[in-house]
Amino acid sequence: MTRVIKVAALAGDGIGPEVVPIAVAVLRTALAEVGAALEVQEALVGGCAIDQAGEPLPEETLAACRAADAVLLGAVGGPQWEDRPMDQRPEKGLLGLRSNLELFANLRPALLFPPLAQASSLKPELVSGLDILIVRELTGGIYFGEPRGIFFEDNERVGVNTYKYAEHEIERIARVAFDLAAKRQGRLCSVDKANVLEATDLWREVVSGLADEYPQVALSHMYVDNAGMQLVRAPKQFDVMVTGNMFGDILSDVAAMLTGSLGMLPSASLAADGFGLYEPVHGSAPDIAGQDAANPLATVLSAAMMCRYSLDLPAVAARIEEAVDGVLRRGLRTADILGGGEQDGMEQIGTKAMGEALLAEIESGAEGAGS
């Protein structure tokens, strides 16, 4: 019987409606190769939802996400909504999705495609073959801890935020990271600041306490300041890194830049049952929206992550990633990854042409496999 995969597609704003349909088409084609069918439910989120439904996260959108096997999101936001009060901004749609769907584990791979080694700010030999996965806790820590605010104390204002993690929050994110490390190179580095912050002392204790259950994973610990340094000194030493919300926010952006371009970076946000929301790391890029200039590869690679982490179809994920590698090897580039102009057999193409090249790549791979 044909497996039918249900995906909620939330294109959002700016370049979202340009890149999401490409990722959907690539996903549909790659799934068809393994005899699976794709059923897509489109829904509104962000600025377009404010304009068309009066709020950034309409109830129908949440319902569509809950009814799906996974969610594919483009991006939200744009200058036309920036003057609105905080709780009526497009970003509220994204935060609402994370909290309502209990997406506590954020996965940010930093993977360098060999043809793009020159695009990194580090020397090619430091980054070639780079394949790091940062697992960031997404729904706790100092971004959510109470008390928080600006208060009066001794006749002056004091700003307060609270770094707080309960054991169960640490344990569930650590288990996600151990499981992922077990499926990769078997190395997990937990990042904390246990020499200064008691909350992260507990973090280290809880993570260490799980290590015996994962004998196939080599666990190490690193202070966050050193981790930042090591990421730009010798990034290939890392396989999987796990850390709290704030440290993960910072380190994942550092790791991201090792790979060169925002237009190449996918992400996943997972719930406890493997349900996930998949989206490019970049925003809605209003400066290039509607110009057929956006790089769709980050969204396409997000769809590949969906196959790997929510749909249990790693071969389909690999097929999509190979197609991305294939078009890059053929010299096809959107402007953001061209690196200063056409040269050495590279060709600048638009968003749609990149989508067509990917589909052709997948289809030709399937023909090759069959022959």
Catalytic residue among 165, 193, 309, 336: 193
Choose which of 77, 109, 140, 276 interacts with ligand NAD (CB under 6 A).
77
249 is annotated as an active-site residue: yes
Q: How far apart are CA 349 and CA 84, in angstroms?
A: 36
Choose which of 190, 295, 302, 310 interacts with ligand NAD (CB under 6 A).
295
* CA 269 to chain CA centroid, nearest Å: 7
Choose which of 28, 193, 282, 308 interacts with ligand NAD (CB under 6 A).
282
183 is annotated as an active-site residue: no
Beta carbon of residue 305, minimum distance to ligand NAD (angstroms, whole number): 15
Choose which of 139, 252, 259, 284 interacts with ligand NAD (CB under 6 A).
284
Task: Give 321-370 as a DSSP string.
Answer: HHHHHHHHHTTEE-GGGSSSS--TT-EE--HHHHHHHHHHHHHHHHHHHH
- DSSP state at residue 240: E
Choose which of 25, 294, 323, 327 interacts with ligand NAD (CB under 6 A).
294
Beta carbon of residue 285, minimum distance to ligand NAD (angstroms, whole number): 4
- Smaller CB distance to ligand NAD: residue 209 or 290? 290
Beta carbon of residue 8, minimum distance to ligand NAD (angstroms, whole number): 15
Q: What sign results for the dihedral spanned by CA atoms 189, 194, 197, 203?
A: positive
- Smaller CB distance to ligand NAD: residue 197 or 289? 289
- Smaller CB distance to ligand NAD: residue 279 or 321? 279
193 is annotated as an active-site residue: yes
Choose which of 285, 307, 313, 328 interacts with ligand NAD (CB under 6 A).
285
Beta carbon of residue 118, minimum distance to ligand NAD (angstroms, whole number): 17
Comparing CA positions, the residue from 269, 293, 298, 295 lying closest to residue 281 is 298
Angle at 268 between CA 309 and CA 240, to 5 degrees: 75
Residues of span 327-356 touching ligand NAD by CB under 6 A: 336
Query: Does 288 help bind ligand NAD (rule: CB under 6 A)?
Result: yes
Residues of span 171-190 touching ligand NAD by CB under 6 A: none
- Smaller CB distance to ligand NAD: residue 94 or 138? 94
Residue type, 285: A
Strand runs (DSSP E) across the chain, as ranges?
3-12, 36-42, 70-75, 105-111, 131-137, 145-153, 156-162, 187-192, 218-223, 240-243, 266-270, 276-280, 332-333, 347-348
Q: How far apart are CA 87 and CA 90, in angstroms?
A: 9
Strand runs (DSSP E) across 154-288, as ranges?
156-162, 187-192, 218-223, 240-243, 266-270, 276-280
Assigned token pair, 55? 């709020």
Residue type, 174: A
292 is annotated as an active-site residue: no
- Smaller CB distance to ligand NAD: residue 17 or 78? 78
Choose which of 58, 115, 260, 263 interacts with ligand NAD (CB under 6 A).
263
Choose which of 50, 75, 207, 317 interacts with ligand NAD (CB under 6 A).
75
The answer to whether the CB of 80 falls within 8 A of the CB of 16 is no
Burial 15-34 (b: 16+ CB within 10 A, else e): bbbbbbbbbbbbbbbbbbbe
- DSSP state at residue 217: S
- Smaller CB distance to ligand NAD: residue 132 or 285? 285
Tell me, by CB under 6 A, how many residues bind ligand NAD: 21
Helix (H), strand (E) at residue 320: helix 314-329
Choose which of 39, 167, 205, 287 interacts with ligand NAD (CB under 6 A).
287
Binding site for ligand NAD (CB under 6 A): 15, 75-78, 91, 94, 262-263, 279, 282-288, 294-295, 298, 336
- Residues labelled as active-site residues: 143, 193, 225, 249, 253
